[in-house]
Amino acid sequence: MNNKQKILVVEDEQSIINFVTAVLTVNGYDVILAKTGAQAQSLATSHCPDLVLLDLGLPDMDGVDVIRFIRGWTRLPIIVVSARTQERDKVEALDLGADDYITKPFGTSELLARIRTALRHVNTSGLASPAEASLFQTGDLCIDYDKRRITVAGNEIHLTQNEFKIVSLLSRHAGKVLTHDYIIKEIWGPGLKGDNQILRVNMANIRRKIEKNPGSPDYILTEVGVGYRMVEGEN
């Protein structure tokens, strides 16, 4: 019986296809290939892959349309792998439901790490998922959601209500980048969409309180122009 996890690679550039297929195969994944958006939509429904690696620049449609199609019926993990480096492209893909975004060119270690993170999130969804757990810990940072208490190296950190909400939101999606607009909508509602200043001020205060060096954070990482990512928690 084949228990290998199945990855749908949606890519039309042969050199990238060869590289990604070799990396995934050597690391124990089954690979399904689609070179167009139409093929991707068909294979996603017929083969039920465990994860999709999606290029945005496809010959027949924009990759964001594939994201919309997949998100219309499943939370199947989607990692965008694209040469597009504009922040607006990353934000659009993530806001439409992509789980992560890797910019070409990329290395083997980065690709495999992002895949493991995305698969780990979906594989734990039926158990004690981050969204349901009462505790979160990464390094010296510990969050007790029930007691609304945060400690770093055993020392309690005093956050404002909104600061605690931001840290909790990021930790419940640890390993995944959350866009500025998503965080703002979740914390302050849709009325402040597009106003990143209030989030930047709160984030600066949070980092000053929880990070050893706020300029080089260990816990909450910045995806420039896109949003923030909490480092993954410990099992």
Domain of 33 in residue numbering reads as 6-123
Are 209 and 169 found together in one domain?
yes
Cβ atoms of 130 and 137 closer than 8 Å: no
Q: Strand pairing of 177-179 and 220-223?
A: unpaired
Residue 195 is classified by DSSP as -
Are 116 and 175 found together in one domain?
no
Residue where a domain stops, chosen among 89, 123, 157: 123
Are 140 and 50 found together in one domain?
no
Are 22 and 109 found together in one domain?
yes
Are 155 and 206 found together in one domain?
yes
How far is the C-alpha of 151 from the C-alpha of 157, rounded, in Å?
Answer: 5
Conformational region of residue 57, where left means phi above 0, alpha means psi within -120 to 50, and beta covers everything else:
beta
Are 74 and 148 found together in one domain?
no
List the Cα angle 164/125/174 in 5-degree steps. Answer: 35
pLDDT at 123: 53
Residue 213: CATH number of its domain: 1.10.10.10
1 found inside a domain: no
Are 139 and 117 found together in one domain?
no
Residues of the chain with pLDDT under 50: 1, 124-129
Q: Give the residues across from 152 on adjacent strands.
A: 141, 155
91 found inside a domain: yes
Are 118 and 197 found together in one domain?
no
Are 168 and 111 found together in one domain?
no
Are 156 and 182 found together in one domain?
yes
**What is the reported pTM?**
0.71
How far is the C-alpha of 55 from the C-alpha of 36, rounded, in Å?
Answer: 10
Are 81 and 164 found together in one domain?
no
62 found inside a domain: yes
pLDDT at 206: 96
Cβ atoms of 8 and 67 closer than 8 Å: no
Contacts of 136 (CB under 8 A, 6+ apart): 130, 142, 143, 145, 171, 172, 174, 233
Number of domains, the chain:
2
User: In a 3-state reduction of DSSP, which class is residue 87?
Assistant: helix
